[in-house]
Structure 1
Amino acid sequence: MKLHFKIEAEKATSDIDVTIDNLVVAGWAGRDHAAIEHHIEELAALGVPRPSAVPLFYRVSESLALQGQRIQVVGAETSGEVETFVFSAGGILYVSLASDHTDRKLETTGVALSKQICAKPIAATAWPFAEVADHWDSLIIRAYIVEGGSKVLYQEGPLSSLRTPQELISGYTDGAAKLPDGTGMICGTVGAIGGIRPSSNFTLELHDPILNRSIHHSYAIEVLPEVA
């Protein structure tokens, strides 16, 4: 899947096209046990079985990577998750923003299948990872949904609560320090405020309070009927 990013570096802005032929979702990527357990229990309340190990790396179809502002899903029991997204191009690691949109009903049957069934919206802006590496834990991810006609904060947390990209890359590649070109990784999420639930719109933010900049993305969810 070919994606286009505007690279917002501190000294210059550029555009790159990136072909992602290996899309990976890092699951259960919390840095401390309490945070992981919270998310496991959050999903267990929906009937999702506990993971066999943490973290886990789910391969999903590269065609699910989507930079549009609308996705279509079957049934009303899906929801997004704000996560950072890392990829390499020309040997340089970049960070952007994605939503691991997931079918919650199907998740109770199989987590890997539930992740495969929904598109993974990805922002069109990215930063060089080197510019945020030394203050990675200070970065904040947020998500908003629409409830009762109002925009509501749905997720918020610092990246200090999640494993670093270096840890996840090493875990996925069996110890290699670099993410291969052509591989994109969705890097874990924080708990939902008020519980996991669907919405007609999902808005994502990655905020850097040190360099005072943010990456945003928003998409609408069109629900297709479940036909038996």
Structure 2
Amino acid sequence: MKAVFQIESADGASRTLETDIRTLVVAGWAGRDRAAIEHHIEELAAIGVPRPSSVPLYYRIADNQLTQAACIQAVGDASSGEIETFVFAVEGELYVSIASDHTDRKLESHSVALSKQVCAKPVGTTAWRMDDVAAYWDELVIRSYIVEGGAEVLYQEGTLDSLRTPQDLIAGYTDGKALPDGTGMTCGTVGAIGGIRASTTFIMELFDPRRQRSLKHRYEVDVLPEIA
């Protein structure tokens, strides 16, 4: 997938970075401690999703599912988003953006891998250099909002200290090597406030409390009829 990011530097400068992401990986069950993992496992078990065989797990997703579009299409009304940090490598340097591991929740009870594959994965259009935030990574906040009853509702929020670091997840995927150029990886999520549920609007943010800046992205879901 050809992607274009505006790289926002720590000094406020901005530049355009174009890259071709040829390998897309979703790192699942990426909680840093067992209690956080169990919370997410139980949250998904409530909607019929089987327990993972091991943690973390790395799901390969077709790279053509990655999109920076403001609208995606999904069959049926049982899919929902979840915010994750998204890391990608270009010429040996690591960058961080945000993405939604949009998933078909009905299919998820049958196969987690298939449920992730059938949905597009929206990714933001802005990013930071990993080197600019790595020293205080745990302080960064991910949050998302959905629209219910015409109002924006906080759906997820948490600091990244509850999740494995990108470096840890990358090492687990590459056997300790650097993330290859052209590879993008989502790095886990936090629990849904009030339970997992669908919305045709998903708004996501990665907030940097030290520099008071954010990466933001919003997308809509066009629900296609589920024909039997």
1:118-168, CA deviations, whole angstroms, 9 ceiling, x for partnerless residues? 000000000000000000000000000001111000000000000000000
Alpha-carbon distance in 2 for matches of 1:91, 1:175: 15
- Structure 2 matches for 1:145-160, cutoff 5 A? 145-160=146-161
Alignment of 1:88-167 (within 5 A): 88-167=89-168
* Partner residue, 2:39: 38
Match of 1:195 in 2: 195
The one-letter code sitting in structure 1 at the alignment partner of 2:29 is: W
Instruction: Please say if 1:226 is aligned against 2:226.
Output: yes
> Which residue in the other structure is 1:87 paired with?
88
**TM-score, normalised on structure 1?**
0.99
Measured in 1, the distance between the counterparts of 2:160 and 2:99 equals 14
Matches within 5 A, 1:49-68: 49-68=50-69
Whole-angstrom distance in 2 between the partners of 1:226 and 1:120: 20
Q: Which residue of the partner structure matches residue 73 of structure 2?
A: 72
Question: What is residue 22 of structure 1 aligned with on the other side?
Answer: 23
Structure 1 residues without counterparts, runs of 5 or longer: none
In structure 1, the residue matched to 2:9 is 9
The 1-side partners of 2:205 and 2:222 are apart by 21
Per-residue CA deviation, residues 178-228 of structure 1 (Å, 9 max, x unaligned), is 110000001100000000000010000000001111000000011100111
CA RMSD of aligned residues (A): 0.5
Counterpart of 1:5, as a letter, is F
Separation (CA, whole Å) in 2 of partners of 1:221 and 1:49: 26
Q: Distance in 1 between matches of 2:159 and 2:196?
A: 19
Tell me the distance in 2 between the aligned counterparts of 1:219 and 1:86. Answer: 19
**TM superposition shift of 1:10:** 1.7
Shift of residue 104, structure 1, vs aligned partner? 0.2
- DSSP 3-state at the match of 1:118: coil
Cα distance in 2 for residues equivalent to 1:60 and 1:10: 31
State the shift of 1:36 in Å: 0.4
Match in the other structure for 2:49: 48
**Which residue type is aligned with residue 182 of structure 2?**
G
Distance 2:209 2:48 in 1: 37
> Residue deviations 1:8-27, cap 9 Å, x none?
01233110111001000000
Aligned residue in 2 for 1:213: 213
Amino acid at match of 2:22: D
- C-alpha separation in 1, matches of 2:17 and 2:142: 24
Counterpart amino acid of 1:27? G
Deviation at 1:90, TM superposition (A): 1.1
Percent identical across equivalent pairs? 65
* Distance in 1 of aligned mates of 2:116 and 2:175: 23
